[in-house]
Amino acid sequence: MVDMGMSMKWTCKTVLDWTTAYLKHQGDDHPRLSAEWLLSSATGLSRIELYTNFDRPLTQLELNAMHQAVKRRASGEPLQYVTGEMPFRHIVLRCEQGVLIPRPETELLVDAVLEGLPQEQGKPVPALVLEIGCGTGCIACSLAHERAKTHVVATDISSAAVRLTTRNRNALGLQAAVDVVACNLADGVDPRLMGHFDALVSNPPYIPTAVLSTLPHEVSGFEPQLALDGGADGLDVYRRILALAAQALLPGALFAVELFETKLEHAAQLTRDQGGWSSVEISKDYTHRPRFLIARRA
C-alpha cells in the first residue's frame, strides 16, 4: 500500500478516489462507501461534508489515521470495527471487536417490539422489556430512546458486550431507562421482575454450527463466535429463551426473536408445542426471508 505521506497533495477528493480504487482492487464489495466511512472517521467530517470540502488538504495526523484505517479495512476487518461506530435506526452506537455488529434487519425486530408494546387510546403506557443478549445495546437503547415510558432490562453473558452496552447507554443519556446486567440469560435479573415483563426480545446466537465455516471472512474472521454459533440446528439458545419466556412474561405479553432463515418453522412449532401462546407468527426481513418469530402469551 502506498504511504500517504506529504510527497503529494492529499485532499479529500484525492484520498477518496485513491482509497476507492485501492479497496476495489482488494475485493471490497462497496469500495466507495468504505472510503467515505473511513475518511469521515479520520477527518471528523460527515459524508456530505466530504463532498463540500473536496479541495481541503488532510493534515499529517489525518493521513496517518487514514493510512492505518485503510490497511485494516483491506485486511477484511469490518468497517464498524475500523471506525468504531455505526448508525442504527435513530442513534449512533460505538462498535468494538469482541461484540457482534448490529445488522440492518435487526431494526425490524425493534419495530415489532414497538408495535407490540401496550398502549391506551393510541398512546404508550409504562412498559417493562427484557432483552436477552444485548451486544452493543442497539435494541435496548433504541426501544428506550424511541418510546417514552419504556424500561429495558438488558442482559448478556459477554463482559465485553455488557461494557459496550453500558457505554452506549450512558452516551445516549439512557441510564434511567436501561439496566444492563451481566448474567447467563436472566439468572442475574431481579427475581421480583419475573412474570412482569411486557415483552421479551432477543437476537441470540442462531447460526447452525455447520454453516459457520461458510460465512464470509469479514464475519467469521472478526466477529465473536459466542454471538454467532447457535448449535447444531441453530436453536440451542432459542430453546432456553423459550423456556424463560414462559416464566418472564405477563399474560398477553410479546415474545420477539430473530433467528436463522431456515429454522423459523421449527422454532414456531417448538413454541406452539410449549403451549400458553395465543399466537405464533413468522415475519420476514428486508430481503423477504423468514427472519423473526413473533408470539403473544395467552
Ordered by start, the domain boundaries in the chain are 12-75, 99-297
Per-residue pLDDT for 134 more than 70? Answer: yes
pLDDT of residue 122: 83
Per-residue pLDDT for 2 more than 60? Answer: no
- Tens-digit pLDDT profile for residues 214-252: 999 889 999 999 999 999 999 999 999 999 999 999 999
Residue with cell 448490529: 102
pLDDT of residue 1: 46
Per-residue pLDDT for 192 more than 70? Answer: yes
Backbone phi, then psi, for 276, in 5-degree steps?
90, 10
Distance between CA atoms of residues 76 and 71, nearest Å: 9
Mean pLDDT of the chain: 95
Distance between CA atoms of residues 171 and 89, nearest Å: 16
Q: Where are the alpha helices (DSSP H) in the chain?
A: 12-25, 31-43, 47-52, 60-74, 79-83, 106-116, 138-146, 159-171, 209-212, 217-220, 236-248, 264-274
pLDDT of residue 47: 87
Mean pLDDT of 181-210: 98
Per-residue pLDDT for 4 more than 70? Answer: no
Q: Which three cell numbers stand for residue 96?
A: 468494538
The one-letter amino acid at 224: P
Give 212's pLDDT tier (boundaries 50, 70, 90): very high
Architecture of domain 99-297: 3-Layer(aba) Sandwich (3.40)
Mean pLDDT of 6-35: 90
The answer to whether 10 touches 55, Cβ cutoff 8 Å, is no
More confident position, 122 or 3: 122
- Tens-digit pLDDT profile for residues 251-288: 999 999 999 999 999 999 999 999 999 999 999 999 99
Per-residue pLDDT for 3 more than 70? Answer: no
The percent of residues above 90 in pLDDT, for the chain, comes to 92
Give 74's pLDDT tier (boundaries 50, 70, 90): very high
Distances 117 to 60, 150, 250, 268 between C-alpha atoms, Å: 51, 9, 12, 21
